Amino acid sequence: MALVESVVLPLGWEAVDFKLKGVDEKEYSLSDFKDKKGLLLVFTCNHCPYAQAAWPLLVGLYKKFGGEVGLVGINANDPINYPDDSFEKMKELVKEYGVEFPYLVDESQEVARKYKAQCTPDPYLFRNENGVFKLFYHGRINDNWQKQEKVKEKSLEEAISKVVKGEEGPERQMPSMGCSIKWKS
Cβ(179)–Cβ(44) below 8 Å: no
Tell me: pLDDT of 169 over 70.
yes
Burial class (CB in 10 A: 0-12, 13-18, 19+), 155: buried
Number of domains in the chain: 1
| CATH number where 142 lies | 3.40.30.10
Tell me: pLDDT of 132 over 90.
yes
Contacts of 52 (CB under 8 A, 6+ apart): 46
Other CB atoms within a 10 A radius of the CB of residue 178 amount to 29
Domain membership of residue 20 (yes or no) is no
Burial class (CB in 10 A: 0-12, 13-18, 19+), 113: middle
Domain membership of residue 13 (yes or no) is no
Domain membership of residue 57 (yes or no) is yes
β-pairing, 122-129 with 177-180? unpaired
| Percentage of residues in the chain having pLDDT higher than 90 | 82
Find, among 128, 114, 124, the residue nearest to 173 by Cα. Answer: 124
For the ranges 8-17, 97-106, 133-142, 167-176, which has the lowest average pLDDT?
A: 167-176
Give the tens place of pLDDT for each residue, 57-95: 999 999 999 999 999 999 999 999 999 999 999 999 999
Domain membership of residue 173 (yes or no) is yes
- Exposure string for 51-73, b = 16+ CB within 10 A, e = fewer: bbbbbebbbebbeebeeebbbbb
Domain membership of residue 18 (yes or no) is no
Domain membership of residue 54 (yes or no) is yes
| Per-residue pLDDT at 166 | 96
Tell me: pLDDT of 153 over 90.
no
Q: With a threshold of 0.75, does the pTM exceed it?
A: yes
Which residue range(s) make up the domain with 125? 34-180
Domain membership of residue 3 (yes or no) is no
Q: Where are the alpha helices (DSSP H) in the chain?
A: 49-65, 87-97, 110-114, 155-165
Band the pLDDT of 170: cuts 50, 70, 90.
confident
- State the Cα–Cα distance between residues 14 and 35, nearest whole angstrom: 17
Band the pLDDT of 143: cuts 50, 70, 90.
low
Give the tens place of pLDDT for each residue, 33-65: 999 999 999 999 999 999 999 999 999 999 999
Angle at 45 (CA atoms; ends 110, 171), nearest 5 degrees: 80
